[in-house]
Amino acid sequence: MKCLEKTPARRYPTAQAIADDLRCFLEGRPILARPSPIWEKAVKWGRRRPARACALAGAAAAVAVFLAGILYYDSLLRAGVRTARTAKAEADRNARVALEQRNLALKALDKLVFEVQERLGETPATRSLRRSLLDTAIAGLDEIASSTEASSSNLSRAVAHQKLGEIYRQLGRSTEGSRQFEQAVRLAEQLATAAPEDLAVKDCLSRSHVGLGEIHLRADRIDLALGHFHQVLELAEEIAAADPGRPSARRGLLEAYVRLGRAQGFHGDFGEARAWFLKSLPLAKQWSVDQPGDADAAAMLAWCYRKIADMSKLSGDLDEARSDYVRAIAVGRESLKSHPTDLKIKTHLAAALDDLAKVLPRRHDPAEASSLYAEAETLFAEAVESDPENADVRVMLVHAQYDRARLQRDLSHFSEAASTYRRTIETLNRIPREGLTAPAPHDFLEVEVLERELADCEAAPLALEALPSLLARPARDACRLLPARVRLLNALGSTADALDTVEAVCSVVADTAEDRAALTTAIGECVRVLSGPRSAGPAETRVTALRRRCAERIGSLLARSLERGFPTAPAPNTIRP
């Protein structure tokens, strides 16, 4: 068609051009007669160069696959990003809800530890409820702490353990109390490492060491108690230095002085103990002046006077001891008018009365001492009735009753003494019977001792008869009454009469095996009395001779029994040949 174009410019210019175009057509190349689209040119080029066309096609396919893969994975990535953003938003929302719930739980548990405990007050009536609430708070705080780190919950846990330990200590359950206090110390020390200037942490740590010190002191572990009380003093001084105007700072320092003085006194360092008590007295006086109606301030002032008086008594200055006991009693009685049901004031007043009564018999004033013992027993009994779970108050009541019974016995009021001994034994037996823990043996009485002294008082009307009438009784009756006579006379200070009675015991005739057994036991009881402390003097020579005679008499009784083949009671281990 190009050859027939009317316009010369659009026709082949020469025959050679036509020939070239035909050759191109035959060779499959583009021709001038009809322009080929690009795809057709590509196809024709591929036919002419199949190898290159295949390589180029493969490369193009690979690029296409690569691009397709990129687009596919890009779509997956975009979908994943959208999913992650949705999940993050949901997680953030859940975290906010969980944080809000955790904060609400912490707030509620903190109220159980702090606000609710403070409102309930440290009274015996609320002790069981406070203990239950603290157990609940500790369980909740432990659960929160196991899932997340929270310093506020750790502080609450530490305070809860400390408060629970104090309740157990008051109940006399020392093992549980120690465990709670040690847990509180561990948590508080961790917090103190992270926040060394936090006064709330130091206060919790100080109170925990106080509890541990009191438990060790009660168990006669004096060195351990001193270690804890020294830490209490160090913490109290740090708190007072950091915040001098804080009301509890002065109180903490005052209590640290008194507790350290008590421990030093138990340790036998009376001079050191007195120095600590004298250091505490100005603080106690200032506290009472600043808060004249405060029961705790009055109780602490009375306590300071009592402890200073104790040191004077131990050093032999009975006049100074009596003056300080009288001051403690005056403070207690005045405060009791305003706070008639306060347990601390009652116990401090009763203890001061009992302590003063112990000094007065040495000043030959038994009537006043008897009155003081009676008032002390009444106050302690009221305190026990108000707080029957408090083991410490029970122990104080036992001591007051025992002191009163001994005074009545020394005044030869044997019927009254026997009645008081029975009350003492009943009070002592109720401590383990009601699940309370008694203190260390050195600070307590044994039921066997009380029962023996009770038996002496019951036998006193007969035991104090004339010695010849006692020796005229049957051997077994004489062997029962004569040792009681020795103990009573020794307690009444009639040493010469007591030694005469021991000689009489050694002269009792025992014909039967039962009589020999009773006589052996009686002589052993006399030796036990002779082995007690006494001042050196002429009587000591006679005591030594009597101990030797008692040993010889017991030996002859045993030998006689063995010769006849009769069993007899073993000689007491107090006998020394």
How do residues 149-168 score in pLDDT, each as one tens digit? Answer: 444 447 888 888 888 888 78
Q: Which pLDDT score, from 0 to 100, does residue 206 have? A: 93
If pLDDT is split at 50, 70 and 90, which confidence band does 576 have?
A: very low
> Which of the residue ranges 27-41, 212-226, 467-481 has the most confident prediction, judged by mean pLDDT?
212-226
Percent of the chain at pLDDT > 90 equals 22
Average pLDDT over residues 548-571: 72
Average pLDDT over residues 538-563: 82
If pLDDT is split at 50, 70 and 90, which confidence band does 308 have?
A: very high
Average pLDDT over residues 369-382: 92
Average pLDDT over residues 363-377: 84
pLDDT tens sequence across 83-117: 888 887 787 676 566 555 555 555 565 555 555 55
If pLDDT is split at 50, 70 and 90, which confidence band does 290 have?
A: confident
pLDDT tens sequence across 410-440: 888 889 999 999 999 999 888 877 776 655 4
**Looking at the predicted structure, is the pLDDT value of residue 144 above 50?**
yes
Average pLDDT over residues 401-407: 91
If pLDDT is split at 50, 70 and 90, which confidence band does 18 have?
A: low
Q: Which pLDDT score, from 0 to 100, does residue 577 have? A: 26
- Count how many Cα atoms sit within 13 Å of the Cα of residue 565 in the half-sphere of its side chain: 0
59: how many CB neighbours lie within 10 A of its CB? 10
- Residue among 284, 289, 290, 364 nearest 324 (CA): 284
If pLDDT is split at 50, 70 and 90, which confidence band does 442 have?
A: very low
In this structure, which amino acid lies at residue 365? D
Within the chain, what is the greatest distance between any pair of CA atoms? Answer: 182
Q: Which residue has better confidence, 126 or 219?
A: 219
Between CA 153 and CA 191 the distance in angstroms is 11
Between CA 68 and CA 148 the distance in angstroms is 47
**Looking at the predicted structure, is the pLDDT value of residue 574 above 50?**
no
If pLDDT is split at 50, 70 and 90, which confidence band does 266 have?
A: confident
pLDDT tens sequence across 453-474: 898 888 888 888 888 888 888 8
Q: Which pLDDT score, from 0 to 100, does residue 441 have? A: 46
Q: Which pLDDT score, from 0 to 100, does residue 391 have? A: 80
Count, residues in the chain:
577
Between CA 548 and CA 349 the distance in angstroms is 48
- Count how many Cα atoms sit within 13 Å of the Cα of residue 298 in the half-sphere of its side chain: 24
Between CA 278 and CA 324 the distance in angstroms is 12
110: how many CB neighbours lie within 10 A of its CB? 19
pLDDT tens sequence across 223-243: 999 999 999 999 999 998 888
If pLDDT is split at 50, 70 and 90, which confidence band does 573 have?
A: very low
pLDDT mean across residues, the chain: 80
If pLDDT is split at 50, 70 and 90, which confidence band does 28 have?
A: low
Between CA 271 and CA 290 the distance in angstroms is 30
Q: What DSSP string describes 500-549? A: HHHHHHHT----SHHHHHHHHHHHHHHHHHHTS----SHHHHHHHHHHHH
- Residue among 211, 210, 204 nearest 189 (CA): 204
Question: Which stretches does DSSP call E strand in 274-360?
Answer: none
Q: What angle do CA 93, 98, 102 make, to 5 degrees?
A: 150
Structural domain spans, the chain: 2-95, 464-564
pLDDT tens sequence across 311-362: 998 888 888 999 999 999 999 999 999 889 888 899 999 999 999 998 885 5
Token pair of 500 as six digits = 């005469």
If pLDDT is split at 50, 70 and 90, which confidence band does 366 have?
A: confident
Q: Which residue has better confidence, 32 or 381?
A: 381
Token pair of 395 as six digits = 């122990």
Between CA 181 and CA 201 the distance in angstroms is 14
Question: 0.85 cut: is pTM over it?
Answer: no
